[in-house]
Amino acid sequence: MIKDIHSHSVTGMQETTVYSFCMKDKDTSGFISAEYISIGIHPWYVTAEDIDLQTEWIKQTAKNDRRIIAIGECGTDKLCDTDITLQTEAFHNCIAISEELKLPLIIHSVKTSNEIIKTRKSISPVQPWIIHGFRGKPELAMQYISNGFFLSFGKSYNTESLKITPWEKILFETDEYTGNISDIITHAADTLNISTDELNKIISENAKYLFFNR
């Protein structure tokens, strides 16, 4: 049962976690040992010199490694130093791979929500799109939800945004947090006034639909 859809901290909880990697991580022990993986072009780690190489690596690895169950993280970030045009190109490359290989897309968005939503509207992708580490206000949550996005909540989030998210669109993650995903889920269950077991069942069904429905 997948509980943690996005983590950078490879631990012993292999069967419940989707670990996120870039091409630069391909020879690490974490990448080699992970059971479930997402791979993408992170907007922080792409250059004009390696964008084509990263794109081809993602495409070939996702085709040939059955552990790959999602594309990402990928997206756009107005606070990083990477040229926004290059970020956008990398993002569109990942979208194309997601669609071609029928894998969900895990998205990194910092101050680019309008652009991300506009892109989804213009492309009309078949594959699900997931906003990872969502911390926005309820108004932004509703914009994403009304446009078909899933929202993944980490250690910190707006509780009102969590409360208004339909259960079929809720996911959780640790991201850079080195604590246990169960702590995040238990806290969220208290916020939603449901049992931890019930919330675990909800997110398990959501993960099954997203990652194991091909």
pLDDT tens, residue by residue, 162-207? 999 999 999 999 999 999 999 999 999 999 999 999 999 999 999 9
pLDDT band at 37 (very low <50, low <70, confident <90, very high): very high
45 token code pair? 């780690």
Name the H helices within the chain.
29-33, 51-64, 84-101, 113-123, 138-146, 159-164, 181-192, 196-211
Instruction: Report the topology of domain 4-211.
Output: TIM Barrel (3.20.20)
- Total-model pTM: 0.96
> Which pLDDT score, from 0 to 100, does residue 13 have?
77
Domain extents for the chain? 4-211
pLDDT tens, residue by residue, 86-111? 999 999 999 999 999 999 999 999 99
> Which pLDDT score, from 0 to 100, does residue 14 have?
84
pLDDT tens, residue by residue, 52-86? 999 999 999 999 999 999 999 999 999 999 999 99
Between strands 150-153 and 129-131, the pairing is parallel
